[in-house]
């Protein structure tokens, strides 16, 4: 192991201080692999139906075992949406698409973390349900349970007394958005499963193709057919879902028909017209634009190259808006640096955007391309750096020093707005807990939830970084499927980044009223391959620095000449001194 000893820095510190006070090292990187594992556990907590013997979340039991019975269809299974017990088809399908995209794009990373089995199970718990909900080519059951009646009750899923009415879309009651998103979920899942279970993959693809045809031929908004969904998951349109489904079917089949569809409908359906600053269960345009940019960047555009370039221009707009490099047309950020899109459950928009940026970084890097912004060209690594900053905020690097993923870190929400987590398990409290009793005894109690719902991503802080850990503050403390879906791919990618930082304060001293800190930063190559040409961006640096060479670019540094190559498991150390907050250090590029 090679380590650059920086004796001059130590001497300077000695001259300044005289007596050095050693402080404990404070690591600023997170264990993303642990966050990934806990996030997968959240999906187990949200399971509806007959639970398997290897269920890790032991406070949950079987539930919803008669779903669909009154309508003559088997709708047992799937996921509960959030802190309630409704199975909403649109956000559930988007969640499965995000899980599948993560498994496709970061297959090696998830496999290296020994989490591919759990990831595929999380996907399959959704896709098995979707195929049962699609008994005929032009019929899709899109919801079980009624949001209004469900929200009047506070009870465990095992005790449910609320109506389990099922709702469907068909030729006379269309829902192109719901059918399109479900087609995208099944098509992406088909790609994810193909290396492991080709027959299951083929079955998923049959359903995906049928659902796309249904969505395209019988057009309409799903919440006009399933009216009870309107107050909870109102759809803004279905054109984006039709493009989204076609784009995923092209990825799954390589059939030109689907690529031609997104090109022929690019203008009419808004694919090359809408420049967006949001990616969510409702708005898929940014996802479409980045997924189609992959086709272009891989050199597979052919006769469609011109239109695909227009899609990529809009993909760049989204990336630039997130990075605050879009000439003022940017996504709003909190003072603490978090993207802020909506008051209710804002973190779901943060995770989806961060995942999308990580994926786009992969596509651009593979093509040796850059992000084109009004304020200049941006290296792909900066997209990943920004995604990391958002993930780090979620995990605890924020003004509240709180992890917004339950069970991760030492400080996290304990009054989560979640029925099952807030009432003791049936094995502990065997008597039935009714609607009103649940509110009176468990919802309003000041104590922490009796069950820790590991991996639940709560709604998160407000636009000023304030957070209320209160069960009644559902905008901030309720977890959702769609918020957690993108995290599996994102955390696996961040855990796999070959260079890890260990940032610590090794000494401190005061001169007059000013306190100075000696910051020690260790760069470690955690991969099994040599890393070369490392470039770092160091912002807010106010004092001297030792152990790196400045470049001609502003705030950009590289390793010393004799340390251009970081061998596997090797480290390099640099030191800087300054008063006030630590400098912001990020990886700009490497090979």
Q: Which residues are catalytic?
A: 417
CB atoms within 10 A of CB 532: 11
Buried/exposed 149-186: b ≥16 CB within 10 Å, e otherwise: bbbebbbbbbbbebebebbbbeeebbbbbbbbbbbbbb
Phi, psi dihedral angles at 411 (to 5 degrees): -135, 115
Which 3 state secondary structure label does DSSP give 87? strand
First-last CA distance in the chain: 20
Contacts of residue 410, defined as CB under 8 A and 6 or more positions apart, other chains included, come to none
Residues 418 and 83 sit within 8 Å (Cβ to Cβ) = yes
- The set of residues, in sequence order, having a beta carbon less than 8 Å from that of 572 and lying 6+ positions away, is 2, 3, 4, 522, 523, 547, 559, 563, 566
* Structure-token pair, residue 43: 């999906």
Structure token digits, residue 449: 């939830």
Q: 304: which DSSP letter?
A: G
Nearest Cα to Cα of residue 521 among 507, 508, 503, 542: 503
* Contacts for 139 with CB less than 8 Å, ≥ 6 apart: 168, 169, 170
Identify the H or E element spanning 507. Answer: strand 499-511
Structure tokens at 145: 């349970």
Q: Is the dihedral of CA 206, 210, 216, 219 positive or negative?
A: negative
Q: Report the distance separating Cα 393 and Cα 488, nearest Å.
A: 16
Which residues are registered as beta bridge partners of 511? Answer: 514
The β-bridge partners of 144 are 87, 166
415, exposed or middle or buried, with CB in 10 Å at 0-12, 13-18, 19+?
buried
Label residue 554 exposed, middle or buried (CB < 10 Å: 0-12, 13-18, 19+): exposed
Neighbours of 533 (CB within 10 A): 11
* Residues in a beta bridge with 304: none
Phi, psi of 377 (to 5 degrees): -90, 140
How far CA 22 is from CA of 3, 400, 414, 517, 583, in Å, comes to: 20, 26, 34, 11, 20
Q: Tokens at residue 359, please?
A: 């994926």
Q: Contact at 8 Å (CB) between 345 and 480?
A: yes
Residue 534, C-beta contacts closer than 8 angstroms, at least 6 positions apart = 499, 523, 558, 559, 566, 587, 589, 590
Spatial separation of the C-alpha atoms in residues 420 and 436, rounded to whole Å: 15
């Amino acid at each position: 192991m090679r380590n650059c000893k920086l004796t001059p820095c130590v001497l300077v510190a000695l001259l300044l201080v005289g007596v050095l006070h050693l402080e404990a090292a404070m690591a600023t990187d997170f264990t993303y692999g642990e966050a990934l594992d806990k996030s997968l556990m959240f999906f187990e907590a949200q399971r509806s139906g007959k639970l398997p013997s290897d269920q890790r979340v032991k406070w949950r039991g079987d539930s919803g075992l008669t779903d669909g019975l009154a309508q003559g269809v088997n709708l047992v299974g799937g996921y509960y949406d959030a802190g309630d017990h409704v199975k909403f088809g649109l956000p559930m399908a988007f969640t499965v698409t995000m899980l599948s995209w993560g498994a496709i794009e970061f297959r090696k990373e998830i496999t290296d973390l020994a989490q591919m089995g759990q990831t595929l199970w999380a996907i399959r718990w959704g896709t098995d349900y979707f195929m049962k909900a699609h008994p005929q080519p032009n019929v899709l059951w899109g919801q079980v349970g009624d949001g209004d009646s469900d929200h009047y009750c506070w009870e465990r899923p095992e005790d449910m007394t609320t109506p389990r009415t099922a709702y469907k879309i068909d030729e006379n009651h269309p829902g192109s958005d719901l059918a399109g998103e479900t087609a995208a979920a099944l098509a992406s899942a088909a790609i994810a499963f193909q290396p492991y279970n080709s027959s299951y993959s083929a079955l998923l693809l049959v359903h995906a193709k049928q659902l796309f045809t249904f969505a395209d031929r019988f057009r309409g908004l799903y919440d006009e057919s399933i009216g009870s969904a309107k107050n909870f998951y109102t759809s803004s349109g279905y054109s984006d879902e039709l493009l989204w489904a076609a784009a995923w079917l092209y990825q799954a089949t390589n059939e030109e028909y689907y690529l031609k569809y997104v090109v022929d409908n690019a203008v009419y359906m808004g694919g090359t017209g809408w420049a967006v600053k949001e990616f969510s269960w409702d708005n898929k345009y940014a996802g479409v634009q980045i997924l189609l940019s992959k086709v272009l960047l891989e050199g597979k555009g052919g006769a469609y190259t011109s239109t695909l370039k227009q899609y990529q221009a809009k993909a760049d707009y989204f990336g630039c808006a997130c990075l605050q490099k879009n000439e003022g047309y940017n996504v709003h950020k909190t003072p603490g640096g978090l993207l802020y899109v909506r008051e209710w459950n804002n973190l779901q928009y943060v995770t989806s955007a961060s995942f999308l940026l990580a994926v786009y970084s992969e596509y651009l890097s593979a093509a040796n391309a850059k992000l084109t912004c009004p304020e200049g060209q941006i290296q792909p690594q900066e997209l990943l750096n920004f995604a990391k900053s958002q993930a780090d905020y979620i995990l605890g690097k924020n003004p509240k020093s709180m992890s917004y993923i339950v069970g991760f870190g030492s400080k996290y929400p304990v009054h989560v707005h979640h029925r099952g987590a807030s009432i003791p398990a049936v094995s502990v409290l065997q008597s039935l807990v009714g609607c009103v009793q649940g509110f009176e005894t468990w919802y309003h109690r000041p104590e922490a939830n009796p069950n820790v719902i590991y991996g639940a991503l709560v709604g998160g802080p407000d636009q000023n970084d304030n957070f209320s850990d209160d069960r009644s503050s559902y905008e901030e403390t309720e977890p959702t499927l769609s918020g957690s879906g993108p995290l599996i791919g994102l955390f696996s990618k961040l855990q796999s980044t070959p260079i890890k930082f260990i940032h610590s304060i090794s000494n401190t001293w005061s001169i007059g009223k000013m306190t100075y800190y000696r910051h020690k930063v260790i760069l470690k190559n955690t991969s099994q391959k040599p890393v070369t040409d490392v470039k770092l961006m160091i912002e807010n640096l106010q004092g001297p620095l030792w152990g790196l060479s400045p470049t001609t670019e502003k705030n950009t540094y590289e390793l010393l000449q004799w340390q251009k190559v970081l061998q596997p498991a090797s480290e390099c150390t640099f030191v800087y001194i300054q008063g006030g907050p630590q400098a912001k250090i990020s990886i700009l590029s490497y090979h």
